[in-house]
Amino acid sequence: MPRERKSHKTDSFETAQLTTESAVASSHAQDLVGQLTHEDVDRAHDRWRVARARWIGRGWKSLGGLQVLWLLVGPGVLVFLGENDAPSMLSYSADGARYGIGFFIPFVVLTFAMGFIVQEMTVRLGAVTHRGHAELIFDRFGRFWGLFSMADLVFGNFLTLVAEFIGVRAGLSFFGIRPGIAVGGALLLVLAVITTGRYWTWERITMGLAIFNGLFIPAALLAHPDWQAVGHALVTWSPLPRGDRAEIVLLILSTIGATVTPWMLFFQQSAVVDKGMQPRDIKAGRIDTLLGTVLATVFAIAAILATVPLFHHGINAADFEYAQFAQALVPWLGHAGGALVALGMFEAGIVAAIAISTSSAYAFGEVFGTAHSLNRPFREAWPFYLILLGSACAAAALVLIPHAPLEFIVLIVNVIAVLAMPPALVFLLMLVNDRELMGEHRNNFGMNVAGVTVTILLVIAGLGFAVATVMPSLLGG
């Protein structure tokens, strides 16, 4: 049965592409074509715009080429700016506050390079197969692994969603906004964005919100960083800082988990499918992913630089929460600088909540064979929207429960992401090397070397965490 559903989905998708012009020209496209759904018609409309832009001008340097790129940009930018979420920006802030300019700045660049290697594979998988990540695991490795991957993802995503609403609550508390109003207002914004009934609208609104991750740049400039030291750190890569080795290992692991996580695989591949990208769009997908990588890297480094004054003045930031970073920076960045950091944390939580809840809903729909597209109205895809809305509402509600273990959740989120990543990468590498699935777009030798290297590094990071947790004395002081 699952294969039949997937085949029908792929067939109707191809039918939509072949009947693009009629689908756009007539409001009665479903009656005329018969097999088309609301999802197919909307996606066909988007594909028609891409085809028209290609017809207007050929080549990436032309006006038409730039328009094609603009139409295809989205999943890559969103996945990386979405991963610059509240726990991640807290992790980068902790790096800067605890250890200043040095080891962690080039390390962040390395982790984002790892992220690009991983996410580029999801672009090719989605564009070639027209299937989401959970759906492919279900189809190629069986029901057990499909359900396992979905359950693992949904559990990790829920904890992360809780952390996002904690970030929203704490960020707005800088401005004196009460927790109930902060979390309730944020939830209404999330619900408004994810119920537009149109993938294109959802994507553009979320991208508009995501660009405010750049608020950390003016905050960093207000900190007046030593740019020569930044350049030196990037070129020479300082050795590991001195201090508690167990704490440093935990920060390293948290920084990796701020960049490379399972939800990113599921989200970007499903978004590529929902956007209707084709094999000929892979080049644009790579550019989109590279753009997201570069933006997220710059914003992450800015978060480190913004909190370096705490390091220079010997402020102990070990137990800081979101808003406390902003409040502690006011003496050196001014109230405006503190406000920028607080708003940046708020933005990070909102965008990630939108992307991560959508990732869970995609996986649920793919595994259980129900409609799972943001181009579908609620009446056609109500299980998809219930998972999407329900996970966001449950996470927001948990944040408001008195004495809930919120600090523990924030600390553990990135660690869980790193520990869960190696198995997810094994599935990804097997799928992207499947000749039947990928044909000429499967991994070459260099891509496999890069992918396996990332997997090995994540396994080593996980082992390091185990040592730091179980036998911290082995790491020394």
Confidence grade of residue 25 (pLDDT, cut at 50, 70, 90): very low
> Is 110 domain-assigned?
yes
pTM score, two decimals?
Answer: 0.85
Pick 11 or 465 by higher pLDDT.
465
pLDDT band at 317 (very low <50, low <70, confident <90, very high): low
Task: Classify residue 12: in a domain, yes or no.
Answer: no
Residue with the bigger pLDDT between 290 and 369: it is 290
Q: Looking at residue 242, what is its pLDDT?
A: 73
pLDDT at residue 129, as a whole number: 93
Q: What is the CATH number of the domain that holds 163?
A: 1.10.4160.10
Q: Is residue 51, in this structure, part of any structural domain at all? A: no
Let me know if residue 79 belongs to a domain.
yes
The pLDDT value recorded for residue 466 is 65
Mean pLDDT is lowest, of 6-10, 99-103, 403-407, for 6-10
pLDDT above 70 (res 18): no
pLDDT at 127: 93
Per-residue model confidence as pLDDT tens digits over 405-446: 666 676 677 677 777 788 888 899 999 999 998 989 999 999
Q: pLDDT tens digits for 39-82? A: 777 777 778 888 887 777 665 555 566 788 888 889 999 999 99
Lowest mean pLDDT among 8-12, 88-92, 189-193: 8-12
Q: Would 16 be classed as within a structural domain?
A: no
**In this prediction, what percent of the chain has a pLDDT beyond 70?**
83
pLDDT, residue 295, reads 96
- Let me know if residue 25 belongs to a domain: no
Question: Of 150-159, 354-363, 446-455, 465-474, which gets the smallest average pLDDT?
Answer: 465-474
As a whole-number percent, the residues of the chain with pLDDT over 90 amount to 29
Q: Does the residue 394 lie in any domain? A: yes
pLDDT in tens, 286-310: 999 999 999 999 999 999 999 888 8
Determine the pLDDT at residue 87: 82
Domain, as residue range, for 161? 73-472
Total domains in the chain come to 1
164 found inside a domain: yes
Average pLDDT score over residue span 381-397: 89
* Tokens matching residue 452: 């396996």
